[in-house]
Structure 1
Amino acid sequence: MEIKSLIASVLPFVLGSLYAVYNYHQLHLGYLLLFFIASSLFHMATNANDNYQDFIHAPRNHDNQEFLEETNVVGVNQISISQARLLTFGLAGVSLVIGLWLVTKTGLPLLWMGIYSYAVGYFYAGGPKPISSGPFGEFFSGFTMGFMIFWISVYINTFDRVPITWQNTGEVLIASGLAIFAIANIMLANNICDMDEDIALGRHTILYYLGKPVMLQVFAWSYIAGYVCLMVAVWLGVLPKFSLLTLISVIPVLKNTHLFLQKQVKRETFILAIKNATIICLSFIVFMGLGLVFH
């Protein structure tokens, strides 16, 4: 699993589990492990579908030759269309079977969460108007990976003890805000770096509508919004006070953000958004874990 996928799926899973332990003092390790497997398989299926859909829908012309032969995984590895399709549906199918079994054990709320997640996973790159090719890719990426995985991890561990309410859902949303914005910024940085290529491929991402200068400011302010969510969650009492030490990560995140604002080149500076998300989520996990120990 590539580092981008690790951040987007594994780290929110860990954060959600820590949240469940801190607030409800409960873990269902067996169900949690199965959810982790299902989530990881589906994330790989989504990545496979993304590359497959990009490859088959990319215009066959001189401008896109480099993308087809040197960028897209299907073209680079000379994977046949049938192989790509089999891999995508195979991974998604196994994930679906595990997910449905978990629904029978934990209840219908997981089904609705799963339907949303699977729908976003498919339509992110599939369908007549893929989410990733439109102006809402960053929102769905951050919300689905940063919040939904976090929330499902909480639910899996507490379904038999805590009913879902607007209040506790809102608390989970605020607590996961730091992860939401960090993950959304990975997608945003990718689109900023790929703006010219996306336009050539006919993708109208948010960069197409608002322009690079505006979205660079959004990129920087999104990190601030995430840290504000962290402080609000601690103030509400749903995160341990030790979690505030995550604010130490502002120092390297600010440095990396400044470098990205100066230069947006996919092979040179896109990695900075991944580094920021890694620093943020790992420090969040470490200090939240310490908060559990000393709680």
Structure 2
Amino acid sequence: MDPNIQSTQPKGNDSRWRVWWRLLRPHTLTASFVPVLIGTALALPTGEVKGSLFLAMLLASILIQAATNMFNEYYDYVRGLDNEKSVGIGGAIVRDGVSPKTVMGIAVSFCAAAVGIGIYICMESSWWLALVGSLCIAAGYFYTGGPWPIAYTPFGELVAGLFMGFIIIVISFFIHTGTVSLASILVSIPIALLIGAILMANNIRDRVGDEKNGRRTLAILLGHTGAVRFLAGMFLFSYLWVTGWVVTGMFSPWLLIVFLSVPKAVQAIRGFQDKSSPAEMMPAMACTAQVNTQFGFLLALGLFLQTWI
């Protein structure tokens, strides 16, 4: 396909802002701001939290996530995965007439802006973060870009959880404290799993179409039932992991507040069970992203209460 053949003007009945909002794939943006919030909450007891660094880290993470979504939009179009009948929030190019060249240009601009913000963060903390930040941007691009896209392998969930969960939490803690603690590593694990769960939910929905287009995602390898069970296991492990912290006395019982998000996790799993069409699974996919949001905010709240009460 020629990536320059379409107009930059959205078509159809949607207002322009709705098209661009969908292009950002807002339900995935929780994977960027939840880790920053948690890493910062962990740093609160040190008394060294700087508001400017928090905001800079938050904006840089959102920009990288948004750029990743746009790279995904562009390459799904170029490789023929998206069409006007595709289900999901993507498809701004095929359904709304947004120019592929424009989508790629915005993605690159977002990455450039993130680099600029990253320079400020490095000046205020450590230049080693320049290397880590570069790896995060590269992971976002190579998820669907390049000759061997990560999205076509069983490792997408692992990469997403590692870079958007583990690394972002650790960096968000480090920029305030100048160190990496055991607590920051332990707390990152359930968040990494839940970010990976967002991708797993997406891959469960798209399993049949992805397999026809040559992908070999984990959801394809496990099959629908196996993938849903694996997703349930990711949820279960996250809650048990937090429970383990409390039982061993490493963290306050306040962190058990994350269990308030259990009903949303149950709703997500039930939404995938006995479903076959992508449209039927859309609500469950949305619920999975909401689990990450609720669990993440509640975990941050528990860390805050542990510090101040």
Once the two structures are superposed, the pairs formed by residues 159-174 of structure 1 within 5 Å of their partners are 159=178, 162=179, 164=180, 168=181, 170-174=182-186
Q: 1:67 to 1:106 in 2, by over 3 A?
A: same
Query: Partner of 2:297 in structure 1?
Result: 282
Normalization by structure 2: what TM-score? 0.83
Structure 1 or 2: more helix by fraction: 1
In the superposition, relative to structure 1, how do residues 238 and 113 fare at CA in structure 2: closer, same or farther (>3 Å)? farther
- What SS class does the counterpart of residue 27 from structure 1 fall into? coil
Task: Please say if 1:201 is aligned against 2:213.
Answer: yes
Q: 2:65 is matched with which residue?
A: 43
* 2:28 counterpart of 1:5: yes
Report how far residue 77 of structure 1 moved: 2.2
- Aligned with residue 174 of structure 2, among 155, 166, 179: 155
Letter in 1 for 2:42: Y
How far residue 219 of structure 1 moved from its aligned partner, in angstroms, is: 0.7
Against the structure 1 CA distance between its residues 129 and 3, is the aligned structure 2 distance closer, same or farther, given a 3 Å change threshold? same
Task: Give yes or no for contact 2:207–2:220 (8 Å, CA) kept in 1.
Answer: yes
The Cα of 1:69 is off from its aligned counterpart by 12
CA distance in 2, matches of 1:130, 1:15: 30
Structure-2 change in CA distance of 1:108 and 1:5 (3 Å): same
SS of equivalent to 1:58: coil
Q: Is the 8 Å Cα contact of residues 175 and 238 (structure 1) preserved in structure 2?
A: no
Query: Shift of the alpha carbon at 1:252?
Result: 4.0
CA contact (8 A) 2:25 2:66 kept: no
1:203-282 maps to which residues of 2 (within 5 A)?
203-234=215-246, 239-263=251-275, 265-282=280-297
CA-CA distance at 1:100 after TM superposition: 2.4
Q: Are 2:107 and 1:88 aligned? A: yes
Match of 2:306 in 1: 291
Is the alpha carbon distance of 1:107 and 1:235 closer, same or farther for their aligned partners in structure 2, counting shifts above 3 Å? farther
Aligned-partner SS, 1:176: helix
- In structure 2, the partner of 1:175 is 187
Match of 2:54 in 1: 32
Residue 141 of structure 1: CA displacement?
1.3
Pairing 1:127–2:146 present? yes
Q: Select the residue among 17, 20, 28 that pairs with 2:43.
A: 20
AA aligned to 1:77 is D
Q: Which amino acid aligns with 1:280?
A: F
| 2:107 alignment partner AA | T
**1:94 Cα offset (Å):** 1.2
- Pair 290,230 (structure 1): closer, same or farther in 2 beyond 3 Å: same
Inter-partner Cα distance in structure 2 for 1:69 and 1:180: 23
Alignment partner of 2:160 out of 131, 134, 141? 141
1: distance between equivalents of 2:255 and 2:111? 35
Q: How many residues align?
A: 283
Q: CA deviation at 1:117?
A: 0.9
Q: Residue type matched to 2:232 in 1?
A: A
Q: TM-score, normalised by structure 1?
A: 0.86
- Asked if the contact 2:25/2:69 (under 8 Å) is kept, the reply is no
**Structure 2: segments with no counterpart, 5+ residues:** 1-23
2:92 paired residue number: 73
Residue 93 of structure 1 aligns with an amino acid whose one-letter code is A
Indicate the residue corresponding to 2:18 in structure 1: none
Amino acid in structure 2 at the alignment position of 1:285: A
Identity %, equivalent residues = 24
| Native 8 Å contact 1:175 1:233 kept in 2 | no
> Could you list the runs of 5+ residues in structure 1 that have no partner in the other structure?
none
SS of structure 1 residue aligned to 2:145: coil
SS in 2 for 1:67: coil
Q: CA deviation at 1:67?
A: 3.3
Query: Following the alignment from structure 2 to structure 1, what is the Cα–Cα distance between the partners of residues 150 and 102?
Result: 24
Matched, 1:113 2:128: no
Change (3 A) 1:292 1:261: farther
Deviation at 1:269, TM superposition (A): 2.5
